[in-house]
Amino acid sequence: MDVAAIKRSFEGSGLRCTPQRYAVMAFLMDCNRHPTAADIFEAVNRVDPRSSRATTYNNLRDLVEAGLVREVAVEGRAARFDAKGMRHHHFICDRCGNVEDVEWYDVPRPRSRALGKRVLRECELIFRGLCTKCAGRTLSR
Amino acid sequence: MDVAAIKRSFEGSGLRCTPQRYAVMAFLMDCNRHPTAADIFEAVNRVDPRSSRATTYNNLRDLVEAGLVREVAVEGRAARFDAKGMRHHHFICDRCGNVEDVEWYDVPRPRSRALGKRVLRECELIFRGLCTKCAGRTLSR
DNA sequence: TGTTACATTAGATATATTCCAAATAGTTCA
DNA sequence: TGAACTATTTGGAATATATCTAATGTAACA
């Protein structure tokens, strides 16, 4: 995990590198799951309590706005976050709500006529179904 | 708006056709926006108050489970719903959170190796950026 | 016609997130 | 350096969204 790289990415976005903000980013970067804000809050404070709930949310908002972190909304559950490292798509489990990465591949864009005057920032592909764990559990009933 | 068609689709899913459930479905079907649960609750009760908040949520859940209605989660805002009529993709505005339909086109599925043992139910393509209204507003500053 | 499963209700409760106003820390530059 | 400015953090209150509960009502059908 590259301390300097995180600092640089913060500076590039006009964000100060505070201990709290750094902790959120560092946790997201070496976390291969897709934690909720509550997970992140807990993880950051596990070693030495030093970030409030509001700050965790503030920093997540800042990082999402800066384009360093992605937020994934899940129906009826808390939002999930991940550091935007390698590009990837998402798989969301119908049953347990877990979010998993799916290998990236290019998605054809819509015809420009279909978008009209809208300004397109990004395309996101979401797969839905049962994750490996839940699929196994369903079969065994 | 076809009363019999709605009744049939309910029966096909083992759902009773109650006045409250029917009202939710009918509203969604002739509504070209993507209302929130609160919008739906209000609309159903506008003429003659006759559905509680809990019932509205219950019915939305049932209809989503039956595959008749789609739920779209939006970051930091209430979920949106739409009747599954013609297939379409979704455009979500970064600024105002509105959800709009985008003309359907086929999306290539991931390689089966990338999915492993997961069971794929559907692929969903989400576009993000600024809607026509918000794009205009941004330029005029 | 009585039993059972399905639905509805109002209000309480749970969960997730944002707001607020005061305190703190970092930056700038005279 | 240090005054002035700006960004950040903080705990707790407030809000928004969604679900649960327990009582009651309604339809289906054996």
Q: Could you report the per-residue pLDDT of A37-48, keeping only the tens digit for each?
A: 999 999 999 877
Give tens-digit pLDDT for A43-83: 999 877 789 999 999 999 999 999 999 999 998 899 999 99
The CA distance from A40 to A44, in Å, is 6
Cβ contacts of residue B40 below 8 Å, gap of 6+? B24, B27, B28, B56, B60, B81
The nearest alpha carbon in chain A to B111 belongs to: A103
Averaged pLDDT for residues A13-17: 91
Averaged pLDDT for residues A91-108: 89
Strands B88-93 and B119-130: parallel
The CA distance from A93 to A81, in Å, is 16
Residue-averaged pLDDT of chain A: 89
Averaged pLDDT for residues A88-97: 88
| Residue A125: per-residue pLDDT | 92
Is residue A61's beta carbon less than 7 angstroms from any atom in nucleic acid strand C?
yes
Going by pLDDT thresholds of 50, 70 and 90, the confidence category of residue A140 is: very low
Averaged pLDDT for residues A92-104: 89
- What's the pTM? 0.88
| Residue A138: per-residue pLDDT | 62
Is residue A45's beta carbon less than 7 angstroms from any atom in nucleic acid strand D?
no
List all residues of chain A from 13 to 72 with a beta carbon under 8 Å from chain B.
71-72
What whole-number percentage of chain A has pLDDT above 70? 96
State the 10-residue block means of pLDDT for chain B, 141 residues long: 87 92 94 94 86 96 94 92 91 89 90 90 90 75 39
Token look-up 């026509």 returns B132
Strand partners, A81: A71
Is residue A45's beta carbon less than 7 angstroms from any atom in nucleic acid strand C?
no
| Residue A139: per-residue pLDDT | 52
The CA distance from B26 to B45, in Å, is 13
Give tens-digit pLDDT for B68-92: 999 999 998 999 999 988 899 999 9
| Residue A141: per-residue pLDDT | 38
Q: Which of A62, A94, A127, A131 to mutate to test the interface with B (most CBs of B within 10 A)?
A: A127
The CA distance from A95 to A98, in Å, is 8
| Residue B140: per-residue pLDDT | 44
Q: What is the dihedral of CA A45, A51, A55, A59, to 10 degrees?
A: -60
On whether any CB of chain B is under 8 Å from the CB of A86, the answer is: no
| Residue B136: per-residue pLDDT | 80
Q: Which of B127, B130, B132 to mutate to test the interface with A (most CBs of A within 10 A)?
A: B127
| Residue A113: per-residue pLDDT | 87
Positive or negative CA dihedral for B8, B11, B15, B19?
A: positive
